[in-house]
Structure formats: structure tokens, C-alpha cells
Amino acid sequence: MGPWALFRKTMKILRGGATSRDVALGVLLGFLWGMIPGFNLTVFIIVLLLLILNANVPSAVFALALGKLISITGAPLCYELGFFLIHKAGFAPLVRSVCDTPVLAFLDFQIYCVFAGLIFGLIVGGVLAIIAGLFIRSLRKGLMAMSAKGGVQKVSSNIFTRIVLRIVFGKQKATLAEALAKKSPILRKKGLIFVVIVVVIFGGGIWVASSQDYTSILADQLGKANGAEVNIRATSFSLLRGRFEINGLQVTDPKTATNNSFQAETIVLDVSMSDLLAKRLVVDLIQCDRLQLNEKRDKPGEVYPSKEEAPPSPPQFDLNKLIPANLEYVNKVKELNEYLEKLKEYMDDKEEQPQEVSLEDEHAKQLELAKLKGYQKLSADDILRERAAWAIVKIKAETILIADFPPVIILGKNISSNRKLWGKEPKVWAEQDKEALAEYLKKSLTGEGDSPLDGVSELLGGKKDDGKKDEKKGGGLLDGLLGK
């Protein structure tokens, strides 16, 4: 809609067309939209109401411009109002409840200017809507009175005046009396049809997104982050179930292109969709199968040129160092646990630490932050948050292969951004795959295949040259490992 068309539609309000209620709705919703910064679920609902309700568009556009002008120029005052309403006027429980509710979390009530803009917009916008509706109605009544006395007819009988009125107002389809008596439906049919189309497109978009093959895209993005080629055999993705699966992952070592720094047969992520809709990332399960480090590739992977220095990385550990001689395998599993403990300590250092600060200190801190981010982005999220921003409920990495030794299992649970808010102690540990270890040790005793354990059979319970177990030396390490 161009400026001239908008002007003509605005002028037509005075002569008839939109009812006073339509004009009032347009002013209220337009002003309310203007007072809400950014785009969020709050703005989306307002736009939706503008589409499906019979709100007058020209009046909504003018009110939107007014609201946006007040919102931008008065951002510091809007922030102060939001801070007062949330922390001092008793709205904190309401805002916290909304922020913890799936879908409603996207209303962004925790942003001070959004919450203050909503309250201010409803009150001031409501007053402006009533004034606009009464003004249009009284103006039309005044024109009707003039028309009844013949003043309007005398003016409009002039051919030049009629041409000007037609250009400015357009063709009048109803008399002023008809406009005053007109009752328009509350819902806009075209708007409802448009909303239905949007919902269908959105639902189709979810279906298409879930059915797409992200294998090449993910491999490309991981490769860029890794600095070397990443291969993925297949992926599957379900948005509704919150499940993402990667099969046949191979990550080339940028320093040794002939090896994979990391590879896994299967990686599965199960994400809680209810938490995701509440703007929290909670991974119910991360499961890996046949995880191997520093394995030789079938052919060297491509290494990409580095564009910038890599960020600091967590403690590194080479699983090849776990390859023991003879019976050091069990002790090396302990070394892996020590590494995992160091990794846990590293994560603890990166953990969000809750700070006990007064509202005055937080207020002063946010005023400083406003110089960088702007007032319209300041949020009460850190003060109101009662749950961790992200958490991993369970980690299970099975069949971690260490050369020719029995596989190891790495387990973990309750890894979060804030253990105090999550309420559970994080744990990460490694343990032996007992069934695989038992089978492996049995083969070592019976002499089936080569094993690094050969030659130390006495420690396992003894093995004579004829392959029979030494009864005098029974009850060795093997029995202990097998739980006998």
C-alpha cells in the first residue's frame, strides 16, 4: 500500500467505511505492536489479531508508527518501568511462570522493554483507541448535522469541489447515516483464510524439515569447524520427537590426515521438546556406539586451510596411551577415569555460577550493559532463572575400542550449565564392558588367538602347558574380574 493509497483510506474513515469499533481496534493493536521491541511471540499474536479481527489498517499503521517512536525514544524509561514492574511491583512470579512454560516462553516477558511495552501499550493504546472511536463517531455526527442543514450539499454541488473530494476520499459507497448505522463483523474472513494457509504451510514446513537429508550439510559444517574433512554415512531427524541420529561418522585429524581423530558407528541425541519450547536445551540421552579415536582412514582426508587461531580446547587425552602391555589394561581404565575427572573439572570451571547480588547492584550492572546492548535487549532472565539453561540427562558411549583390547564404556549423567539450578550432581565415568572382558580373558586362557595377556596366565589363575587350569593357583584376577 503506497502513501497516497494510505492517505485516501485514512480520509475515507471520516466519510464512512470503517466503523468506530474497527478504528479503535486498529489504534489499539497498532500502538501495542509499536511498543513491543523486536519480533517474538507477543508481536506474532498482535499481528495475528490484526489479520483476523476487523481492525482498520490505516489507523493501525499510524498507531504503529506512534508506538514505535515512543518505544525507541523512550527506551530508557521503558526499561525502568519494566524493572519496577517485574522486581518491585510483584510481577516476578508471573513472568517467571510464563518463561518456564513451553511456547509461552517465546513471549519474551523477561525482557524489560517487552513487558513494560505490553503493559504501557494496553493502557495508553486502550485510551487512544477509545478517543479515536469517539472522535470518528462525533465527527460523522457533526457532518450529518451539517448535511441536514444543507451546508454540505451547497459546497459539494460545485463541480470542482466534487472532483477534489473524489480524488481525496475516493468514491463514497455509503451515506454518513449508513456509515453510523453500519455494523461490521468482528472477524475478517480474508484474514482467517490467510491464517489457515500460513498454518498449513508451517505444518508442511515441519514435515519437509523432518524428511530432509541433512547428511551433506552436517558433514560440511562439521568439517569447517574441525578444519578437516568429516564423513557421515547417513542421518535421520525427527523434529516432533526431538531425535537426531548420525551413522558412520568419521572426523579427520587435521594434524594427521591419514587418521580419524574421532569416529563412531552411531550417535543418537534425544532432546526434550517440551524444554526446547521453553527455551531450554535438555538432552535426555546422548548415546554413542563403537567409538574409536586415532583410527587409520581408508584414504587420507582433506585438510582445510586455517583462517584464524583455534579457540582454547579442553584437556586432551590420547586413548592410544591406554594400549597396555599385558595386564595394565585394568589400570589404564582407571587412567581414563582420571581424565574424565579432569574433563569434569574443566566443565565445572565453565559452569554458570549463580551470583547473590542485590537488585540495586543488578540495576547498576544492567545500566552499564545498556551502553553496549541497548535498553531494549536488557533481560531479567539471570535474576528470575530457576532452571539450568541447558542440561544433558544421560550419556552412554558404548564399545569404545582400544586397539585389540576389550571395549570400554563411558557413562555420564546430569551434566548442566548450572548444577545448583539443575539440582543434581554431575557424574562422568568409564567402566569395562564386563561381558566383552570375560570373553576376552577366557580366550586368553584357552590360547585362542593372540593376546597381549599371553605369558601372564598365572596372574589370571594359572595355565599349564597342556592348557589345563592350575587348581592350586585358582581364584586369581580372572575370577575377580568375572565376579566369581
Q: What is the pLDDT along the chain (484 residues), one digit of tens a residue?
A: 556 555 555 555 555 556 778 889 999 999 999 999 999 999 999 999 998 998 888 889 999 999 999 999 999 999 999 999 999 999 999 999 998 899 899 999 999 999 999 999 999 999 999 998 888 777 766 666 665 555 545 544 555 545 544 544 445 555 545 555 556 778 888 888 888 888 888 778 777 766 777 788 888 888 888 889 999 999 888 877 888 899 999 999 888 889 988 888 899 989 888 888 888 888 888 888 888 878 889 889 988 886 555 555 555 555 555 444 445 566 666 777 777 777 777 666 665 555 555 778 888 888 888 888 889 989 888 788 778 888 888 888 877 776 566 777 888 888 887 778 788 888 888 777 777 777 766 666 665 555 444 443 343 344 444 444 444 444 444 444 444 4
Dihedral sign, Cα of residue 34, residue 39, residue 41, residue 44: positive
Q: What residues contact 381, with CB distance under 8 A and at least 6 apart? A: 99, 110
Strand partners, 288: 267, 397
E strands, 290-339, in order: 295-296
What is the pLDDT at residue 32? 96
- Helix H or strand E segment including 172: none
What is the pLDDT at residue 92? 92
Among residues 345, 320, 305, 474, which one has the least CA distance to residue 401? 320
What is the pLDDT at residue 17? 59
What is the pLDDT at residue 453? 44
C-alpha cell at 340: 574424565
C-alpha span between 477 and 457 (Å, rounded): 10
C-alpha cell at 84: 519496577
Q: Find where cell 563403537 sits.
A: 290
What is the pLDDT at residue 274? 85
C-alpha cell at 356: 547473590
Among residues 17, 334, 335, which one has the least CA distance to residue 178? 17
C-alpha span between 289 and 161 (Å, rounded): 84
The one-character DSSP state at 168 is: H
C-alpha cell at 350: 565453565
Dihedral sign, Cα of residue 362, residue 365, residue 367, residue 370: negative
Within 381-466, residue ranges assigned H as helices are: 381-384, 419-422, 434-446
Q: What is the pTM of this model?
A: 0.68
C-alpha span between 178 and 143 (Å, rounded): 13
What is the pLDDT at residue 127? 95
What is the pLDDT at residue 398? 76
At residue 309, what are phi and psi to the nearest 5 degrees?
Answer: -65, 140
Q: What residues contact 241, with CB distance under 8 A and at least 6 apart? A: 270, 273
C-alpha span between 393 and 282 (Å, rounded): 7
CB 358 within 8 A of CB 373: no
